[in-house]
Amino acid sequence: MKIPFTSPLAADALAGKLSGTTNVVPLLLQRPPRQQIATPSAILYCEANFGHIDGKTANGLVRFSERYRIVAVIDSATTGLDAGAVLDGTPNGIPIYRDLDDALDSLQAEPDTFIYGMAPATGKLSAHERTVVLTAIQFGMNIVNGLHEFLNDDPVFLAASKAANVRIVDIRKPRPQNDLRLFTGRVNSVPCPRIAVLGTDCAIGKRTTASILTRALNQRGIKAVMVSTGQTGLIQGGRYGVALDAVPSQFCCGELEAAIIEASKSENPDIIVIEGQGALSHPAFCTSAFILRGSVPDSVILQHAPGRKHRCDFEDMAMPSPESEIELIQSFTDTKVIGLTINHENLTDDAVSDAITAYESQLGIPVTDALSRPSQNLVQMVLSAHPQLAGKLTVNMQ
Protein backbone atom coordinates (compact mmCIF):
# COMPACT_ATOMS: atom_id res chain seq x y z
CA MET A 1 0.00 0.00 0.00
CA LYS A 2 1.23 3.49 -0.80
CA ILE A 3 1.27 5.70 2.28
CA PRO A 4 0.54 9.40 1.70
CA PHE A 5 2.91 11.91 3.27
CA THR A 6 1.30 13.53 6.30
CA SER A 7 2.09 16.81 8.00
CA PRO A 8 1.97 17.92 11.64
CA LEU A 9 -1.55 19.10 10.86
CA ALA A 10 -2.43 15.58 9.82
CA ALA A 11 -0.90 14.17 12.98
CA ASP A 12 -3.06 16.53 15.04
CA ALA A 13 -6.08 15.34 13.08
CA LEU A 14 -5.21 11.75 13.89
CA ALA A 15 -5.08 12.63 17.56
CA GLY A 16 -8.43 14.39 17.35
CA LYS A 17 -6.85 17.79 17.92
CA LEU A 18 -8.14 19.52 14.79
CA SER A 19 -10.36 22.21 16.23
CA GLY A 20 -14.05 21.78 15.45
CA THR A 21 -13.54 18.59 13.45
CA THR A 22 -13.86 14.95 14.47
CA ASN A 23 -13.25 11.64 12.72
CA VAL A 24 -10.96 13.24 10.15
CA VAL A 25 -8.45 10.96 8.41
CA PRO A 26 -4.84 12.18 8.05
CA LEU A 27 -4.64 15.35 6.00
CA LEU A 28 -1.97 16.39 3.53
CA LEU A 29 0.12 19.51 3.61
CA GLN A 30 -1.25 22.29 1.45
CA ARG A 31 -0.02 21.79 -2.09
CA PRO A 32 -0.15 24.03 -5.17
CA PRO A 33 -3.11 23.55 -7.49
CA ARG A 34 -2.75 20.57 -9.81
CA GLN A 35 -1.60 21.54 -13.29
CA GLN A 36 -4.55 21.56 -15.67
CA ILE A 37 -4.51 18.79 -18.24
CA ALA A 38 -6.80 18.26 -21.19
CA THR A 39 -8.28 14.93 -20.03
CA PRO A 40 -7.89 14.08 -16.33
CA SER A 41 -7.35 10.44 -15.47
CA ALA A 42 -9.98 8.84 -13.23
CA ILE A 43 -10.59 5.73 -11.19
CA LEU A 44 -14.15 4.43 -10.79
CA TYR A 45 -15.40 3.07 -7.48
CA CYS A 46 -18.07 0.43 -8.11
CA GLU A 47 -17.67 -2.13 -5.34
CA ALA A 48 -19.68 -5.33 -6.02
CA ASN A 49 -21.84 -3.55 -8.59
CA PHE A 50 -19.85 -3.21 -11.81
CA GLY A 51 -21.91 -4.44 -14.75
CA HIS A 52 -25.06 -4.42 -12.62
CA ILE A 53 -27.95 -1.97 -12.40
CA ASP A 54 -26.68 -0.01 -9.38
CA GLY A 55 -23.31 0.41 -11.10
CA LYS A 56 -24.84 2.35 -13.98
CA THR A 57 -22.60 5.41 -13.51
CA ALA A 58 -19.42 3.35 -13.75
CA ASN A 59 -20.91 1.29 -16.57
CA GLY A 60 -21.66 4.42 -18.56
CA LEU A 61 -18.24 5.96 -18.00
CA VAL A 62 -16.44 2.78 -19.05
CA ARG A 63 -18.43 2.80 -22.28
CA PHE A 64 -17.97 6.49 -23.00
CA SER A 65 -16.41 9.55 -21.40
CA GLU A 66 -15.36 12.85 -22.92
CA ARG A 67 -14.37 14.49 -19.65
CA TYR A 68 -12.23 11.77 -18.03
CA ARG A 69 -9.74 9.13 -19.13
CA ILE A 70 -10.82 6.07 -17.16
CA VAL A 71 -7.76 4.11 -16.00
CA ALA A 72 -9.26 1.60 -13.55
CA VAL A 73 -12.37 0.26 -11.86
CA ILE A 74 -12.59 -0.86 -8.22
CA ASP A 75 -14.83 -3.91 -7.73
CA SER A 76 -13.76 -6.91 -5.67
CA ALA A 77 -16.36 -9.13 -7.36
CA THR A 78 -14.65 -8.86 -10.77
CA THR A 79 -11.03 -8.31 -9.71
CA GLY A 80 -8.43 -9.05 -12.38
CA LEU A 81 -10.82 -8.85 -15.30
CA ASP A 82 -11.05 -6.29 -18.10
CA ALA A 83 -13.86 -3.76 -17.63
CA GLY A 84 -14.93 -3.81 -21.27
CA ALA A 85 -15.02 -7.60 -21.32
CA VAL A 86 -17.18 -7.70 -18.19
CA LEU A 87 -19.56 -5.06 -19.46
CA ASP A 88 -19.97 -5.82 -23.17
CA GLY A 89 -17.76 -8.80 -23.96
CA THR A 90 -15.12 -6.64 -25.69
CA PRO A 91 -11.85 -5.86 -23.84
CA ASN A 92 -10.97 -2.17 -23.63
CA GLY A 93 -7.79 -2.22 -21.55
CA ILE A 94 -9.36 -0.83 -18.35
CA PRO A 95 -8.34 -3.12 -15.44
CA ILE A 96 -10.49 -3.95 -12.43
CA TYR A 97 -8.87 -3.95 -8.97
CA ARG A 98 -9.89 -5.34 -5.59
CA ASP A 99 -9.76 -2.04 -3.70
CA LEU A 100 -8.15 1.39 -3.73
CA ASP A 101 -4.88 0.15 -2.24
CA ASP A 102 -4.63 -2.56 -4.90
CA ALA A 103 -5.29 -0.03 -7.66
CA LEU A 104 -2.75 2.51 -6.43
CA ASP A 105 -0.11 -0.19 -5.97
CA SER A 106 -0.65 -1.38 -9.55
CA LEU A 107 -1.16 1.82 -11.55
CA GLN A 108 1.91 3.61 -12.88
CA ALA A 109 0.58 7.01 -11.75
CA GLU A 110 -2.01 8.11 -9.24
CA PRO A 111 -5.25 9.12 -10.97
CA ASP A 112 -6.28 12.76 -10.92
CA THR A 113 -9.87 11.94 -9.99
CA PHE A 114 -11.84 9.46 -7.90
CA ILE A 115 -15.40 8.97 -9.20
CA TYR A 116 -18.06 7.32 -7.08
CA GLY A 117 -19.59 5.14 -9.79
CA MET A 118 -22.73 3.74 -8.18
CA ALA A 119 -26.33 4.85 -7.73
CA PRO A 120 -27.55 3.08 -4.57
CA ALA A 121 -31.18 3.42 -3.53
CA THR A 122 -30.14 5.21 -0.34
CA GLY A 123 -28.38 7.98 -2.28
CA LYS A 124 -25.72 8.14 0.45
CA LEU A 125 -22.25 6.81 1.25
CA SER A 126 -21.94 3.90 3.65
CA ALA A 127 -19.54 4.20 6.60
CA HIS A 128 -16.95 2.13 4.71
CA GLU A 129 -17.35 4.23 1.58
CA ARG A 130 -16.78 7.42 3.53
CA THR A 131 -13.39 6.03 4.58
CA VAL A 132 -12.54 5.06 0.98
CA VAL A 133 -13.40 8.53 -0.36
CA LEU A 134 -11.46 10.26 2.43
CA THR A 135 -8.47 8.04 1.63
CA ALA A 136 -8.69 9.07 -2.04
CA ILE A 137 -8.61 12.69 -0.90
CA GLN A 138 -5.47 11.91 1.13
CA PHE A 139 -3.78 10.76 -2.04
CA GLY A 140 -4.57 14.07 -3.73
CA MET A 141 -7.44 12.95 -5.93
CA ASN A 142 -10.31 15.24 -6.81
CA ILE A 143 -13.68 13.68 -5.99
CA VAL A 144 -16.69 13.43 -8.29
CA ASN A 145 -19.85 12.54 -6.39
CA GLY A 146 -23.15 11.79 -8.09
CA LEU A 147 -25.13 10.98 -4.95
CA HIS A 148 -27.95 12.94 -3.32
CA GLU A 149 -25.60 13.41 -0.36
CA PHE A 150 -23.52 16.55 -1.00
CA LEU A 151 -20.00 16.08 0.32
CA ASN A 152 -19.19 19.79 0.14
CA ASP A 153 -21.80 20.26 2.88
CA ASP A 154 -20.06 17.74 5.15
CA PRO A 155 -17.49 19.43 7.45
CA VAL A 156 -15.28 16.33 7.51
CA PHE A 157 -14.99 16.13 3.73
CA LEU A 158 -14.72 19.89 3.41
CA ALA A 159 -11.81 20.04 5.87
CA ALA A 160 -10.05 17.11 4.21
CA SER A 161 -10.41 18.53 0.69
CA LYS A 162 -9.13 21.96 1.74
CA ALA A 163 -6.11 20.47 3.49
CA ALA A 164 -5.29 18.32 0.45
CA ASN A 165 -6.06 21.17 -1.98
CA VAL A 166 -8.44 19.05 -4.04
CA ARG A 167 -11.93 19.68 -5.37
CA ILE A 168 -15.12 17.85 -4.54
CA VAL A 169 -17.72 18.09 -7.28
CA ASP A 170 -21.29 17.30 -6.21
CA ILE A 171 -22.83 16.70 -9.62
CA ARG A 172 -26.42 16.57 -8.39
CA LYS A 173 -26.30 19.80 -6.40
CA PRO A 174 -28.71 22.26 -8.08
CA ARG A 175 -28.09 25.95 -8.49
CA PRO A 176 -29.27 28.24 -5.66
CA GLN A 177 -33.06 28.35 -5.49
CA ASN A 178 -33.18 32.05 -6.37
CA ASP A 179 -31.47 31.20 -9.67
CA LEU A 180 -33.77 28.30 -10.63
CA ARG A 181 -35.92 28.88 -13.69
CA LEU A 182 -39.63 28.33 -14.26
CA PHE A 183 -41.13 26.98 -17.47
CA THR A 184 -41.94 29.71 -20.00
CA GLY A 185 -43.01 27.89 -23.15
CA ARG A 186 -40.07 29.29 -25.13
CA VAL A 187 -38.93 25.72 -25.85
CA ASN A 188 -41.66 25.64 -28.51
CA SER A 189 -39.64 28.23 -30.44
CA VAL A 190 -36.55 26.02 -30.68
CA PRO A 191 -36.21 25.57 -34.46
CA CYS A 192 -34.90 21.99 -34.60
CA PRO A 193 -36.68 18.71 -33.74
CA ARG A 194 -36.43 17.42 -30.16
CA ILE A 195 -36.36 13.68 -29.46
CA ALA A 196 -36.73 12.30 -25.92
CA VAL A 197 -35.40 8.82 -25.14
CA LEU A 198 -37.76 7.42 -22.50
CA GLY A 199 -38.12 3.93 -21.00
CA THR A 200 -40.38 1.38 -19.36
CA ASP A 201 -38.24 1.35 -16.19
CA CYS A 202 -35.32 3.07 -14.48
CA ALA A 203 -31.70 1.98 -15.15
CA ILE A 204 -32.75 0.43 -18.46
CA GLY A 205 -30.32 2.09 -20.90
CA LYS A 206 -31.96 5.37 -21.86
CA ARG A 207 -28.77 7.40 -21.45
CA THR A 208 -26.71 4.82 -23.36
CA THR A 209 -29.14 4.81 -26.27
CA ALA A 210 -29.37 8.62 -26.30
CA SER A 211 -25.57 8.89 -26.29
CA ILE A 212 -25.10 6.34 -29.08
CA LEU A 213 -27.81 8.01 -31.16
CA THR A 214 -26.24 11.46 -30.72
CA ARG A 215 -22.80 10.25 -31.78
CA ALA A 216 -24.20 8.26 -34.71
CA LEU A 217 -26.07 11.27 -36.05
CA ASN A 218 -23.00 13.50 -35.77
CA GLN A 219 -20.81 10.90 -37.50
CA ARG A 220 -23.18 11.03 -40.47
CA GLY A 221 -23.24 14.82 -40.75
CA ILE A 222 -26.43 15.57 -38.81
CA LYS A 223 -25.47 17.96 -36.02
CA ALA A 224 -26.98 16.54 -32.85
CA VAL A 225 -26.68 17.76 -29.26
CA MET A 226 -27.61 15.68 -26.24
CA VAL A 227 -29.20 17.27 -23.18
CA SER A 228 -28.44 15.23 -20.06
CA THR A 229 -30.96 14.85 -17.25
CA GLY A 230 -28.97 12.70 -14.80
CA GLN A 231 -25.63 12.61 -13.04
CA THR A 232 -23.91 10.07 -15.30
CA GLY A 233 -24.42 12.03 -18.51
CA LEU A 234 -23.07 15.16 -16.86
CA ILE A 235 -20.02 13.30 -15.50
CA GLN A 236 -19.39 11.84 -18.96
CA GLY A 237 -18.95 15.38 -20.25
CA GLY A 238 -22.44 16.56 -21.17
CA ARG A 239 -22.26 20.31 -21.81
CA TYR A 240 -25.98 20.88 -21.47
CA GLY A 241 -28.41 19.52 -18.92
CA VAL A 242 -29.43 19.25 -15.30
CA ALA A 243 -29.74 16.43 -12.75
CA LEU A 244 -33.52 16.65 -12.61
CA ASP A 245 -34.11 14.42 -9.60
CA ALA A 246 -32.28 16.93 -7.37
CA VAL A 247 -34.27 19.99 -8.50
CA PRO A 248 -37.41 21.11 -6.62
CA SER A 249 -40.40 19.92 -8.65
CA GLN A 250 -41.69 23.45 -9.31
CA PHE A 251 -38.55 24.20 -11.33
CA CYS A 252 -37.88 20.89 -13.12
CA CYS A 253 -39.67 21.77 -16.34
CA GLY A 254 -38.14 25.24 -16.44
CA GLU A 255 -34.59 24.05 -15.76
CA LEU A 256 -34.83 21.47 -18.54
CA GLU A 257 -36.39 23.98 -20.92
CA ALA A 258 -33.58 26.44 -20.19
CA ALA A 259 -30.92 23.79 -20.88
CA ILE A 260 -32.54 22.94 -24.23
CA ILE A 261 -32.76 26.60 -25.23
CA GLU A 262 -29.10 27.11 -24.25
CA ALA A 263 -28.07 24.09 -26.36
CA SER A 264 -30.08 25.41 -29.31
CA LYS A 265 -28.65 28.92 -29.15
CA SER A 266 -25.06 27.86 -28.52
CA GLU A 267 -24.81 24.99 -30.99
CA ASN A 268 -27.47 25.68 -33.65
CA PRO A 269 -27.99 21.91 -33.99
CA ASP A 270 -30.07 20.02 -36.52
CA ILE A 271 -31.64 17.96 -33.73
CA ILE A 272 -31.62 17.80 -29.92
CA VAL A 273 -31.70 14.45 -28.09
CA ILE A 274 -33.02 14.52 -24.51
CA GLU A 275 -31.99 11.79 -22.07
CA GLY A 276 -34.90 10.20 -20.21
CA GLN A 277 -35.22 9.28 -16.54
CA GLY A 278 -37.36 6.71 -14.76
CA ALA A 279 -40.57 5.77 -16.57
CA LEU A 280 -43.82 7.64 -16.97
CA SER A 281 -45.75 4.63 -15.66
CA HIS A 282 -43.47 4.09 -12.64
CA PRO A 283 -45.11 5.32 -9.41
CA ALA A 284 -41.74 5.95 -7.73
CA PHE A 285 -40.53 8.53 -10.25
CA CYS A 286 -41.90 11.78 -11.67
CA THR A 287 -38.95 12.75 -13.86
CA SER A 288 -40.39 11.35 -17.11
CA ALA A 289 -43.39 13.64 -16.68
CA PHE A 290 -41.11 16.65 -16.19
CA ILE A 291 -39.09 15.66 -19.26
CA LEU A 292 -42.17 15.39 -21.44
CA ARG A 293 -43.51 18.72 -20.18
CA GLY A 294 -40.23 20.60 -20.13
CA SER A 295 -38.87 19.46 -23.49
CA VAL A 296 -42.19 19.23 -25.40
CA PRO A 297 -40.58 16.59 -27.65
CA ASP A 298 -41.57 16.22 -31.27
CA SER A 299 -41.01 12.49 -30.95
CA VAL A 300 -40.00 9.78 -28.47
CA ILE A 301 -37.84 6.67 -28.65
CA LEU A 302 -38.81 4.11 -26.01
CA GLN A 303 -36.30 1.76 -24.33
CA HIS A 304 -37.51 -1.61 -23.04
CA ALA A 305 -35.93 -4.73 -21.48
CA PRO A 306 -37.87 -7.83 -22.60
CA GLY A 307 -35.83 -10.05 -20.25
CA ARG A 308 -36.58 -8.00 -17.13
CA LYS A 309 -39.41 -9.55 -15.12
CA HIS A 310 -40.03 -6.81 -12.59
CA ARG A 311 -39.22 -3.15 -12.03
CA CYS A 312 -35.70 -2.38 -10.85
CA ASP A 313 -35.64 -2.49 -7.01
CA PHE A 314 -39.39 -3.30 -6.91
CA GLU A 315 -39.86 -7.07 -7.03
CA ASP A 316 -43.62 -6.81 -6.55
CA MET A 317 -44.07 -4.57 -9.62
CA ALA A 318 -44.23 -6.35 -12.96
CA MET A 319 -42.70 -4.65 -15.98
CA PRO A 320 -45.18 -2.83 -18.22
CA SER A 321 -45.51 -3.76 -21.86
CA PRO A 322 -44.16 -1.39 -24.52
CA GLU A 323 -47.72 -1.06 -25.84
CA SER A 324 -49.06 0.24 -22.54
CA GLU A 325 -46.14 2.66 -22.08
CA ILE A 326 -46.54 4.00 -25.61
CA GLU A 327 -50.25 4.52 -25.06
CA LEU A 328 -49.57 6.34 -21.78
CA ILE A 329 -46.88 8.61 -23.29
CA GLN A 330 -48.98 9.54 -26.31
CA SER A 331 -52.04 10.27 -24.18
CA PHE A 332 -49.99 12.29 -21.66
CA THR A 333 -48.62 14.75 -24.22
CA ASP A 334 -48.85 15.65 -27.89
CA THR A 335 -46.01 13.52 -29.25
CA LYS A 336 -45.43 10.25 -31.10
CA VAL A 337 -43.29 7.25 -30.20
CA ILE A 338 -41.26 6.63 -33.36
CA GLY A 339 -39.27 3.56 -32.36
CA LEU A 340 -38.41 0.99 -29.70
CA THR A 341 -34.90 0.14 -28.51
CA ILE A 342 -34.07 -3.10 -26.71
CA ASN A 343 -31.99 -3.59 -23.59
CA HIS A 344 -30.56 -7.08 -24.11
CA GLU A 345 -30.00 -8.00 -20.44
CA ASN A 346 -30.83 -11.68 -19.77
CA LEU A 347 -31.23 -12.31 -23.52
CA THR A 348 -29.18 -14.30 -26.03
CA ASP A 349 -28.42 -12.68 -29.37
CA ASP A 350 -31.03 -14.89 -31.02
CA ALA A 351 -33.58 -13.79 -28.41
CA VAL A 352 -32.79 -10.15 -29.21
CA SER A 353 -33.44 -10.81 -32.89
CA ASP A 354 -36.70 -12.57 -32.06
CA ALA A 355 -37.78 -9.66 -29.83
CA ILE A 356 -36.99 -7.12 -32.56
CA THR A 357 -39.05 -9.04 -35.11
CA ALA A 358 -41.96 -9.57 -32.71
CA TYR A 359 -42.15 -5.95 -31.51
CA GLU A 360 -41.91 -4.55 -35.03
CA SER A 361 -44.88 -6.70 -35.96
CA GLN A 362 -46.87 -5.83 -32.83
CA LEU A 363 -46.12 -2.10 -32.67
CA GLY A 364 -45.67 -1.16 -36.32
CA ILE A 365 -42.56 0.92 -35.56
CA PRO A 366 -38.82 0.32 -36.07
CA VAL A 367 -37.07 -1.69 -33.32
CA THR A 368 -33.34 -2.15 -32.64
CA ASP A 369 -30.73 -2.71 -29.93
CA ALA A 370 -28.42 0.31 -29.67
CA LEU A 371 -25.50 -1.73 -28.32
CA SER A 372 -25.62 -4.98 -30.27
CA ARG A 373 -27.01 -3.80 -33.61
CA PRO A 374 -25.58 -1.25 -36.12
CA SER A 375 -26.01 2.39 -35.07
CA GLN A 376 -27.32 3.20 -38.52
CA ASN A 377 -30.56 1.49 -37.44
CA LEU A 378 -31.03 4.25 -34.85
CA VAL A 379 -30.25 6.94 -37.43
CA GLN A 380 -32.75 5.45 -39.87
CA MET A 381 -35.35 5.38 -37.09
CA VAL A 382 -34.93 9.14 -36.72
CA LEU A 383 -34.85 9.84 -40.47
CA SER A 384 -38.08 7.90 -41.00
CA ALA A 385 -39.84 10.19 -38.54
CA HIS A 386 -37.99 13.38 -39.51
CA PRO A 387 -37.22 13.05 -43.25
CA GLN A 388 -36.19 16.71 -43.50
CA LEU A 389 -32.91 15.72 -41.82
CA ALA A 390 -31.90 13.44 -44.70
CA GLY A 391 -30.55 16.42 -46.60
CA LYS A 392 -27.94 16.91 -43.87
CA LEU A 393 -26.40 13.46 -44.35
CA THR A 394 -22.77 13.42 -45.45
CA VAL A 395 -22.33 9.65 -45.06
CA ASN A 396 -24.22 7.13 -47.20
CA MET A 397 -26.64 5.09 -45.11
CA GLN A 398 -26.27 1.98 -47.29
Total-model pTM: 0.86
Q: Calculate mean pLDDT across residues 228-244.
A: 96
Domain with CATH 3.40.50.300 in the chain: 179-392
Where in the chain is CATH 3.40.50.720?
8-170
In the prediction, which pLDDT does 21 show?
38
What is the arithmetic mean of pLDDT over 151-155? 97
Question: Would residue 80 be called left, alpha or beta, if left means φ above 0 and alpha means ψ between -120 and 50 degrees?
Answer: left
Mean pLDDT score of the chain = 91
pLDDT of residue 4: 53
Mention the CATH class of domain 8-170. alpha beta
d(CA 355, CA 346): 12
- The percentage of residues in the chain with a pLDDT greater than 90, rounded to a whole number, is 87
What is the per-residue pLDDT across 17-67, written as a single tens digit (0 to 9) for each? 333 333 333 333 334 444 455 699 999 999 999 999 899 999 999 999 999
Q: How confident is the model at residue 304 (pLDDT cuts 50, 70, 90)?
A: very high
Domain formed by 179-392, architecture: 3-Layer(aba) Sandwich (3.40)
Tell me the mean pLDDT in the region 295-320: 95
- The helix or strand, by DSSP H or E, that contains position 145, with its residue range, turns out to be strand 142-145
What pLDDT, on the 0 to 100 scale, is given for residue 8? 32
Q: How large is the average pLDDT for residues 84-93? A: 95
pLDDT at 75 over 70: yes
Q: Are 277 and 206 a contacting pair, CB within 8 Å?
A: yes
